[in-house]
Amino acid sequence: MQDLLSYLHLVVLPQMVDALIVGAALALVALGLTMIFGLLDVINLAHGDLYMLGGYAAFTLIGWGAGYWGALVLVPVLVAIVGWGLEELGIRPLLPRSDRAVVTLLLTFGASLMLRDFAQVVWGTDTHAIQAPFSGVISVAQVFVPAYRLFVFGAALAAIFLTWWLIYRTRIGAVLRATAADPVMVASFGIPVRWVYGSAFMYGCGLAGLAGVLLGPIYAVFPTMGHDFLVMAFAVVIVGGMGSIVGAVVAALALAQIQGLASLWIPPVWAETLVYGVMLLVLIVRPAGLFRRFGEA
Amino acid sequence: MALLEVEALHARYDYAPVLQDVSFTVDVGEIVGLFGRNGAGKTTTLRAIMGWLRPASGRIVFAGADISLEAPDRIFRRGIAFIPEDRRIFATLTVEENLLLGLTAHRCTRLEEERRLDRIFRLFPRLRERRRQMGRTLSGGEQQMLAIGRALVGSPRLLLVDEPSEGLAPVVVTEIFDAIVRMREEGIALLLVEQNVRRASAVCKSCYVMEKGRIIKHGTPGEVLADEAIRQRLSV
Ligand SMILES: Nc1ncnc2c1ncn2[C@@H]1O[C@H](COP(=O)(O)OP(=O)(O)OP(=O)(O)O)[C@@H](O)[C@H]1O
Ligand SMILES: [Mg+2]
């Protein structure tokens, strides 16, 4: 009995705390993905690479002397600007087409490859480490957590809350929800829907960039980091419900726990497989995911 | 003075012609009725004016400007609002958020917003009670009131209304028609599509009858309904 308790306390609990932090960061990437899908019906395959770009941009800016905090502020803005370019030049011209789902999928796939190649040309294929802005360990009930990880958790939570507040509690959010449900009707009230799309796309990309800076010091940056994270974020969006804000957050936290805990007992590769197993199960039982698309009743 | 002039409008869905040589005018501050049987092309006419459907040929002129090829957001900002047949209330927005959406393009001050909301709430007191309720929780009649309020709150010069009385109880229909008359008194012009020809002709100054995508009759309600064949077609 004592053994079980100390096993839970010293092995399981720390793993859960770790998974909570990963889950919060994952939610940031998934939130952008699901917002973009909910509004534009676009599956952004380049989203993971915008997260990667965030990591590399942080690495470079810190190298130039902007410092971690400077990078934390600048990177989301820079990545949002890249996202704006992608939306303006690539996606927007395709939106009026009836086959927009397929052509935008191809476009963002192409953008994803280009961004990855770009990163390799500029930063090489090596892994780059980013120094955390502070060190130290905080212990809560004898569970030791690096202070930086706690900070990541807090910052991710703040960004998640800000996003929720924007969408559900502000005038801009009302326009977003209305546009997700009925863009033609929104346009018929004088609102240029293309700007709504553009801003939401930029915001989603900014969140991916933020996740890149936050996780950089934990996992370091490397060219395929976006790809690995995107696949996981897709599982999150599918389980939570394509286009669901609440679903993305709940599913990110849940899937991270499943993966984290499972890897205590089975090899990590299999833990990942388990996550996709859960995704498959949800697809079979509830193909639309656990939560509703935002803007929909 | 003509506020809206539709000239020789042709429109089609894919390749099936729906509107053929449709012409009519709506003057400043008057109610014009557009009647016709199911599938005559009434809704399509309103959609074409609002920019939901690109005309194949012909012109739509509003306040002197050709708007035939303009997008809906531009057309709204010129002063035309559309209340579609199915109302299209935003289900996950509250009553107040729905109304404010109709004001977004105006960028007015908080005070002005409050004044305009108050005007709508005085027209439909039931909306005031339901102010914080989600659009999807409203009854059919309340949804129609909200649809009218949302279109009216931005003070359009011309309102396109598609079958406002459809599916509503007679008391509510009376309330809606009272509101329509009040709008005219405030100087708003209306293009009113109605199956309830009896009630609509009581408020219209002139009306048009459509059949198979063409205007087949035009005149004052009295003139139009004096025609036995027309009365039979419209089953009044
Ligand atoms: N989206 C569409 N695609 C193809 N054909 C359509 C479409 N919408 C309407 N139609 C056709 O266009 C014709 C006119 O339709 P419209 O909706 O304008 O009629 P209406 O006069 O409003 O009829 P109702 O009184 O039933 O509302 C009909 O024959 C209809 O079948
Ligand atoms: Mg109709």
Q: Do A188 and B90 touch (CB under 8 A)?
A: no
**Same-domain pairing of A240 and A193:** no
The shortest C-alpha distance from A197 to chain B (Å) reads 14
- Predicted confidence at residue B101, as pLDDT, reads 97
- For residue B75, tell me if it sits in a domain: yes
List chain B residues with CB under 8 Å of A186.
Answer: 101
- Predicted confidence at residue A150, as pLDDT, reads 93
User: Residue range A268-294: average pLDDT?
Assistant: 90
Residue nearest to atom 31 of ligand 1 (CA): B39
Q: Do B90 and A187 touch (CB under 8 A)?
A: no
- For residue A17, tell me if it sits in a domain: no
Q: Which atom of ligand 1 is nearest to the CA of B40?
A: 21
The pLDDT-based confidence of A291 (bands split at 50, 70, 90) is very high
**Same-domain pairing of A207 and A291:** no
Candidate from A138-147, A273-282, B178-187 with smallest mean pLDDT: A138-147
The shortest C-alpha distance from B147 to chain A (Å) reads 11
- For residue B150, tell me if it sits in a domain: no
Picking from B28, B66, B9, B70, the residue whose alpha carbon sits closest to that of residue B156 is: B28
Contact by Cβ (8 Å): B93, B101: yes
Pocket-forming residues, ligand 1, beta carbon under 6 Å: B 13, 16, 18, 36, 38-44
List chain B residues with CB under 8 Å of A293.
Answer: none
Residue at a domain's end among A188, A223, A258: A223
Q: Do A185 and B84 touch (CB under 8 A)?
A: yes
**Same-domain pairing of A233 and A258:** yes
- For residue B133, tell me if it sits in a domain: no
Residue at a domain's end among A202, A223, A244: A223
- Residue A125 three-state SS: coil
Cα–ligand 1 centroid distance for A54 (angstroms)? 50
Fill in the amino acid letter for B169.
Answer: A
The pLDDT-based confidence of A10 (bands split at 50, 70, 90) is confident
**Same-domain pairing of A198 and A264:** no
pLDDT tens-digit profile of A61-114?
999 999 999 999 999 999 999 999 999 999 999 998 989 889 999 999 999 999
All residues at 6 or more sequence positions from A158 whose CB lies less than 8 Å from its CB, including other chains: none
pTM of the full predicted structure? Answer: 0.91
**Same-domain pairing of A230 and A213:** no
User: Looking at the predicted structure, is the pLDDT value of residue A141 above 80?
Assistant: no
The pLDDT-based confidence of A47 (bands split at 50, 70, 90) is very high
Higher pLDDT, A49 or A3: A49
In the structure encoding, which two tokens stand for residue A204, read together?
Answer: 């989603």
- Predicted confidence at residue A2, as pLDDT, reads 80
Q: Do B72 and A295 touch (CB under 8 A)?
A: no
All residues at 6 or more sequence positions from B132 whose CB lies less than 8 Å from its CB, including other chains: B94, B95, B96
Show the domain range for B72.
4-86+156-234
Q: Which atom of ligand 1 is nearest to the CA of B163?
A: 27
The number of domains in chain B is 1
Among B18, B20, B160, B215, the mutation site with the greatest number of ligand 1 atoms within 8 A of its Cβ is B18
**Same-domain pairing of A196 and A265:** no
**Complex confidence, ipTM:** 0.94
Which residues are registered as beta bridge partners of B35? B209
**Same-domain pairing of A212 and A250:** no
- For residue B149, tell me if it sits in a domain: no
- For residue A23, tell me if it sits in a domain: no
Smallest Cβ–Cβ distance between B104 and the set A175, A177, A296 belongs to A175
- Predicted confidence at residue B161, as pLDDT, reads 97
Q: Do B102 and A178 touch (CB under 8 A)?
A: no
Helix, strand, coil content of chain B in percent (nearest 5): 40, 30, 30
The shortest C-alpha distance from B72 to chain A (Å) reads 5
List chain A residues with CB under 8 Å of B132.
Answer: none
Q: Do B154 and A189 touch (CB under 8 A)?
A: yes
Nearest residue of B to residue A292 by CA position? B92
- For residue B145, tell me if it sits in a domain: no
Q: How many CA atoms lie within 13 A of A290 on its CB side?
A: 20
Q: What is the CATH number of the domain that holds B28?
A: 3.40.50.300
User: Looking at the predicted structure, is the pLDDT value of residue A297 above 80?
Assistant: no
Q: What secondary structure letter does DSSP report for B229? A: H
**Same-domain pairing of A160 and A233:** no
- For residue B39, tell me if it sits in a domain: yes
**Quick one: residue B219, left, alpha or beta (phi over 0 = left, psi -120 to 50 = alpha)?**
left
Cα–ligand 2 centroid distance for B183 (angstroms)? 22
Smallest Cβ–Cβ distance between A189 and the set B76, B92, B134 belongs to B76
Report the distance separating Cα A3 and Cα B124, nearest Å: 69
Picking from A122, A115, A145, A109, the residue whose alpha carbon sits closest to that of residue A14 is: A145
Smallest Cβ–Cβ distance between B73 and the set A187, A295, A296 belongs to A187
List chain B residues with CB under 8 Å of A296.
Answer: 91-92
The shortest C-alpha distance from B114 to chain A (Å) reads 15
Cα–ligand 1 centroid distance for B92 (angstroms)? 28
Cα–ligand 1 centroid distance for B212 (angstroms)? 10
Q: List all residues of chain B from 112 to 141 with a beta carbon under 8 Å from chain A.
A: 134, 136
List chain B residues with CB under 8 Å of A181.
Answer: 90-92
How many beta-carbon pairs under 8 angstroms link A with B? Answer: 72
- For residue A249, tell me if it sits in a domain: yes
- Predicted confidence at residue B133, as pLDDT, reads 96
Which ligand approaches the C-alpha of residue B15 most closely? 1
Q: Do B73 and A193 touch (CB under 8 A)?
A: yes
Instruction: Going from the first residue of chain B to its last (236 residues), give the mean pLDDT of each consecutive group of 10, the final group possibly shorter.
Output: 93 90 95 95 97 95 96 97 96 96 93 95 95 94 95 96 93 92 93 93 94 94 90 85
- Predicted confidence at residue B220, as pLDDT, reads 94
All residues at 6 or more sequence positions from A121 whose CB lies less than 8 Å from its CB, including other chains: none
Show the domain range for A78.
48-126+137-223
**Same-domain pairing of A68 and A194:** yes
All residues at 6 or more sequence positions from A42 whose CB lies less than 8 Å from its CB, including other chains: A36, A91, A100, A101, A104, A105, A108
Picking from B120, B100, B121, the residue whose alpha carbon sits closest to that of residue B183 is: B120
List chain A residues with CB under 8 Å of B72.
Answer: 184, 187-188
Which residues place a Cβ less than 5 A from the ion ligand 2? B 43
Residue at a domain's end among A204, A223, A242: A223
The shortest C-alpha distance from A177 to chain B (Å) reads 7
CA dihedral B213, B215, B216, B218 (to 10 degrees): 160
Report the distance separating Cα B180 and Cα A274, nearest Å: 61
Residue nearest to atom 27 of ligand 1 (CA): B38
In the structure encoding, which two tokens stand for residue B150, read together?
Answer: 């949302």
The number of domains in chain A is 2
Cα–ligand 1 centroid distance for B235 (angstroms)? 19
- Predicted confidence at residue A1, as pLDDT, reads 74
- Predicted confidence at residue B15, as pLDDT, reads 81
- Predicted confidence at residue A272, as pLDDT, reads 87
